[in-house]
Amino acid sequence: MFTGIVEELGTIVARDDLSDSARITVDGPLVTSDAGHGDSIAVNGVCLTVVEFGEGRFTVDVMAETLKRSSLGALEAGSRVNLERAMAAGGRFGGHIVQGHVDGVGTVVSVSPSENWTVVRIALPDDLSRYVVEKGSITVDGVSLTVSAVGYGEGGTGDWFEISLIPTTLAETNLGITEPGLVVNLEVDVIAKYVERLHSRAGGATHSHGE
């Protein structure tokens, strides 16, 4: 499990495309400082398994399905990525519950800088819209963020949400270099999905008496 508090802004140093996967090597001295074979590291919010590590770098295998369903398919040498190690059992819970299982991708619609923060509007898939609420939590490229506004089909753009990024987030994550048209990984709040599932099951349940 992760919390969406990015530990390090890493750099893709190599990508080897195979027949049904890709092997990606990432420069990340902090997250590899105590890495071991088989450890989990979130790369732009996607939980990946370390298969090789050393000299401040680690290598992961990314299967074709993940490449297709996330923004990792567009990564290349030189791409900047958000990195977070899996949360230790006794660690501080700084963000919200993040599984590293991307629910879908969104597209940056606009970036509006101001003096103290930057507002980013992101269009999201219709099937994720119901999980996104104002003041709720969402993970964007592995960053735990609070939704500052939502919109539904306004102006023909489809459903969207906004996040307000403080200077620290802009400086220490790849959201600082985001621009309109960029595709980002989205993971909605898992609690919302569980509540929906439980509610749907309860609504269709039948009760038998006398058992």
pTM for the model: 0.88
pLDDT per residue as tens digits for the range 171-192: 999 999 999 999 999 999 888 8
Contact 4, 139 (CB under 8 A): yes
Mapped onto helix, strand or coil, the DSSP state of residue 159 is coil
Quick one: pLDDT band at residue 207, thresholds 50, 70, 90? very low
Q: Domains for the chain: give ranges and CATH numbers.
A: 8-85 (2.40.30.20), 104-197 (2.40.30.20)
CA 61, 67, 72, 78: dihedral to nearest 10 degrees? 70
As given in the structure block, the two tokens for residue 132 are: 């996104």
Closest CA to 58 of 109, 23, 6, 110: 23
Q: Is 71 left (phi over 0), alpha (psi -120 to 50) or beta?
A: alpha
Query: Which contiguous run of DSSP H or E holds residue 195?
Result: helix 190-203
For residues 97 and 75, give the distance between their C-alpha atoms in angstroms, rounded to a whole number: 25
For residues 128 and 105, give the distance between their C-alpha atoms in angstroms, rounded to a whole number: 10
Quick one: pLDDT band at residue 156, thresholds 50, 70, 90? low
For residues 75 and 79, give the distance between their C-alpha atoms in angstroms, rounded to a whole number: 6
pLDDT per residue as tens digits for the range 67-117: 999 999 999 999 999 999 998 777 777 778 888 999 999 999 999 998 889
Q: What mean pLDDT, rounded, does the chain reach? A: 90
The rounded percent of the chain whose pLDDT value lies above 70 is 93
Indicate whether 24 pLDDT > 80: yes
Locate all alpha helices (DSSP H) within 15-121, ordered by sequence: 64-69
